Amino acid sequence: MYTFSKKLKTFSIILMVLGLLGVGYGFMTSHKSFEEVEHLLESEAHHGGGHGEATHVTHAEASHDAHASDTHGETAHAGDEHTKHIEHVQHQIANRPWAALYVAAFFFMMIALGVLAFYAIQVASQAGWSPVLFRVMEGITSYLLPGAIVVVLIAIASGTIGHYNLFIWMDPEVVEHDKLIQGKSAWLNLTGFIIRATIFIAGWSLYRHFSRKFSIAQDTADDNKNFKKSFRIAAGFLVFFIYTESMMSWDWIMSVDPHWFSTLFGWYVFASMFVSGITVIALISLYLKSRGYLDFVNENHLHDVAKYMFAFSIFWTYLWFSQFMLIWYSNIPEEVTYFIARFNDYKLPFLGMVALNFVFPILMLMNADYKRIPWFVVMTGLVILFGHYIDIFNMIMPATVGDRWFIGIPEISSILLFAGLFIFVVFTALTKAPLLVKRYPFRKESEDFHY
C-alpha cells in the first residue's frame, strides 16, 4: 500500500493556494475600463513610434473591412472604429484569466483522459508488459471526473457569469449579426453543449468507475470473471471514446474559433492527450519507484513506456503537420486565417512547440539505451509535457486574447492550481489500493517482462 507522503501533500496544497491567489489576482487585474485601455494603447503606440499607429489602423480595417473600405475617411466613422478597436482590446484583456484557467484545466483533464484511453487499450489488447503499471494508471484516471467537470464549469461560467470570454457563439448579440454562427447554432448552443458534455463525462466516468471496480474485485476473486468483464467494457469504451473524444474536441476547443473547422482536429487533440498521458504514467511510476513503492517495475517497463512517448510524439507531429500543411498548401481564406493568426502573433509558441514536441523527443529517445535511464526519461517527459501545454495554449489563446498573450501570472498560477489539484487527487487515489494487481491473469508475465 502506498501512503501519501506528508511532504507531497503539503506541496500540492501549497501549489493550489499559490495558484488560487494568482488566479484571483489575474481576474482582479483584467477588468480595465475603456479609458484605461485607451490610455494603454496610446502609450503602446507612443512606445512603438509610427509602427503602433500603423498596426492600429490596419487592425481596425481588417476586422471590419466591409465597413471600413468605403467609409473610413469620414471622421465620425473613424471615431466609431476607434471605439470598436478599444472595446475589442478591452475584451481580449478581460478574456486572459479565463483562457489561462481554461487551458490549464483542459491540459490536466486531458492527461487523465489520455491515460484512461491508454489503460483501456492495454486491457483490450491483453498487453503482457503493462499490468504492473495498472494501478498507477487507475490512480491518474481518478482525476478525470473532477477535472472534466471543472473544464465544463469554466466553459459554462464564461458564457453565463462571464462576458462570453471563451466562446463567442454563446453571445446572442454576436450570433444575431453572424450568419455563419447562425448556420451552426443547431450544434453550437449552450443547452446542447451542456447535454453533450454531460454525456461525455458520464460515459468516461462510468468506464473509469467500473474498470477500477473490476480491477479491485479481481484481486480477491477466485476466478477470472472480473477480468473478462473488464476486457469487454474496455472494448466498448474504446468505441465510445473515439466518438466522444472527437466531439469533445469540437465542442471544448474548436468552437473557440466558430468560423473555422478542420476534419482531423479530433485526432490531433487525441494525439496530444495520449502522449501527455503516457508521459505522466512514466513520471509518476518513476517517482513511486524512487520512493521504493514499485520494486516490480524495472527498466524494461520504462523502456516500453518511453517507446510509447517517442512514437506518439512523432504521431502528434504527423497530425500537426498534416493539418498545417493541407491548409497552408491550399490556402483557402476561410481555413487559413487560423494559421495566419498563429503565425503573426504566436510565432515562438507555435513553432517552438514543434521543437519541444518533436525534435527534442526524437533526438533524446531514439537511442534504446537512453530510454532505460530514469533521469533521461524524466527530463524528456517534462519537456514533452511543457510542449503539450503550449499546444493547448496555441489552440485556445489566439481566439480569446489574440495578440495580448503572455505567459505571466494568470497562466502560471492556473498551471500551479491544477497541478496541485492533480497531484492531490491522483496520489490520494493511489493510497486506496495496493500498487500491484493481484490475481490479474497477465501479472506474472508482466513482472517477468524483459526486453
Partner 1 sequence: MEASKVIHAIYTDDDVLMSAVKKVKAEKHHIEEIYTPFPVHGLDKAMGLAPTRIAITAFMYGLVGLTVAIVMMNFIMIKDWPQNIGGKPSFSYLENMPAFVPIMFELTVFFAAHLMVITFYLRSRMWPFKKAENPDPRTTDDHFLMEVAVHGNESELEELLKETGAVEINLVDKEAH
Among 34, 243, 321, 406, contact with partner 1 (rule: CB under 8 A): 321
Does residue 290 interact with partner 1 by CB under 8 A? no
User: Cα(416)–Cα(349) distance, rounded to whole angstroms?
Assistant: 20
User: What Cα–Cα distance (Å) separates residue 31 from each residue in 4, 89, 395, 397?
Assistant: 40, 11, 24, 18
Q: Rounded distance, CA 18 to CA 25, Å? A: 11
Helix 190-220 to helix 134-141 angle, to the nearest 10 degrees?
150
The C-alpha atoms of residue 377 and residue 341 are separated, in whole angstroms, by: 34
Q: How far is the CB of 331 from partner 1 (least distance, A)?
A: 7
Residue 446 vs residues 214, 261, 296, 426: alpha-carbon distances, Å: 19, 43, 9, 23
Q: Between vectors from CA 313 to CA 242 and to CA 8, what angle results, nearest 5°?
A: 90
329 belongs to the binding site for partner 1 (CB under 8 A): yes
The answer to whether residue 328 forms part of the interface with partner 1 (CB under 8 A) is yes
Cell numbers found for residue 341: 493568426
Q: Residue 331 interacts with partner 1 (CB under 8 A)?
A: yes
Q: CA-CA distance, 324 to 448, in Å (whole number)?
A: 43
The interface with partner 1 within residues 355-384 (CB under 8 A) comprises: 366, 368
Neighbours of 83 (CB within 10 A): 12
d(CA 109, CA 114): 9
Closest separation in Å from C-beta 268 to partner 1:
16
Q: Kindly state the smallest distance separating residue 352's Cβ from partner 1, in Å.
A: 16
Number of chain residues interacting with partner 1 (CB under 8 A): 8
Span near partner 1 by CB under 8 A; candidates 55-63, 301-309, 324-332, 399-407: 324-332
Stretch that binds partner 1, among 222-230, 252-260, 328-336, 402-410 (CB under 8 A): 328-336
Q: How far is the CB of 380 from partner 1 (least distance, A)?
A: 18
Per CB under 8 A, the segment of 2-10, 164-172, 184-192, 325-333 that binds partner 1 is 325-333
Stretch that binds partner 1, among 116-124, 317-325, 396-404, 425-433 (CB under 8 A): 317-325
Question: Which range, of 110-118, 245-253, 268-276, 327-335, touches partner 1 by CB under 8 A?
Answer: 327-335
Q: Which is nearer to partner 1, 122 or 317 (CB)?
A: 317
Which residues form the interface with partner 1 (CB under 8 A)? 321, 324-325, 328-329, 331, 366, 368
